[in-house]
Structure 1
Amino acid sequence: MTTPSLYEWIGGIDALSRLTEAFYQRVRLDDQLGPVFSRMDPEHPRHVAEFLAEVFGGPPFYSQAHGGHPEMVRHHLNRHLSEAMRRRWINLLLDTYTDLALPADPEFASALVSYLEWGSRLAVINSQPGAKVSEHAPMPQWGWGEAKGPYAPGGS
C-alpha cells in the first residue's frame, strides 16, 4: 500500500479549484485583503489551484503553463505584504477550507497548515523592496507535514 500524495488526499484539482474559487470570493469582500486583490485576474484562483496541485504532489500544471516557482515569486514582488495580511490570508483560506468540508483529519490539516505558513511567509519576504527572483528555484514539493527536496531543512 502506498501513501497518497496530499494532492490525491484533498481530492485533486477539482477540490483545489473549489477551494480557491470560494476563497478568492471572500478575499474580494475582505476589508484588509480586498484592496490587495482589487485588480486580480479572473484566472487567478485557477492559477493558485494549479500551483497548489503541483506543490502537493499533483501534475505540473503551474510549471507547464506559467513558468514554475520563479513566476509565482514574480507575482509577489513589491506588493508590500504585511504580517497582518499574511495571517488574514491564512485565516480566510482555512475558514473556506472548513466550510467546504474538505478532509478534516489532523494529519492532512497539519501538512496543509505547514505549507500555508511556509509559503505565506515566503510571499511576505518576496513582497518587500529589494526582493529578487531566483530564476532556477525549483517548485516546492510538500509531503505529509514537511517540505521535500531542496526546501527541506538541510535539503539539497
Structure 2
Amino acid sequence: MSDQQNSQQERTLFEMIGGETTVRRIVEAFYPLVQAHQLLGPLFPENIEPVMEKQYLFLTQFFGGPPLFSQQYGHPMMRARHMPFEITPQRADAWLGCMEQALTDIGIDPQLRELLLQRLQGPAYHFVNTDN
C-alpha cells in the first residue's frame, strides 16, 4: 500500500468532508428538511437553534473531529437522550432520508455521502424505541 493510500485511510470522516465548515453546512441543510417532515417535525421544538448546535457538536465528534459534544455535555448517551421521544423505524428511515437529502443538497461527493450514511445508520436504528 502506498503512503498516500495509508494517509487517506487514516483521515477521519470529519477531515474528509472538510471539517467544521461542512458539518455546519450539513446541520443547516438538514434541519429545515426535518422541520418540514410530517413524521419528524412534531418531535422538534419551534426554536430549533439549540438542537442544531447540539447536532453540530455531536456530528463533529461522531465523524472523528474534536470531542465537542462530550466536552460540553459529557458522554453522548444518545439512546437515553432520545428515549422520551417515540422513535419508530419509519422515523429512523425519515431521519436518514432527510440527512441524505441534506448531504446531496450541499454537494457531498456520492461515495463520501454513502460512507456518512452508513456510519449514521447504526445510531439511527439504535434509537428506535417503539413500533407504533
TM-score, reference length from structure 1:
0.71
Give the structure with the larger helix fraction: 2
Cα offset, 1:86, TM superposition: 0.7
The Cα RMSD (Å) is 1.7
Q: May I ask how many residue pairs the two structures share in their alignment?
A: 123
The residue that corresponds to 1:34 in the other structure is 41
The one of 67, 84, 90 equivalent to 1:60 is: 67
**Residues 56-135 of structure 1: pairs in structure 2 closer than 5 A:** 56-70=63-77, 72-104=78-110, 106=111, 108-124=112-128, 127-128=129-130
Identity of aligned residues (%): 27
In the superposition, relative to structure 1, how do residues 73 and 87 fare at CA in structure 2: closer, same or farther (>3 Å)?
A: same
2:35 equivalent to 1:46: no
2:25 equivalent to 1:21: no
Partners of 2:115 and 2:47 in 1: how far apart?
27
For the 8 Å contact 1:9–1:103, the answer to whether it is kept is no
Cα offset, 1:9, TM superposition: 0.6
Q: Stretches of 4+ moved more than 3 A in 1?
A: 38-41
In the superposition, relative to structure 1, how do residues 68 and 41 fare at CA in structure 2: closer, same or farther (>3 Å)?
A: farther
The residue that corresponds to 1:9 in the other structure is 16
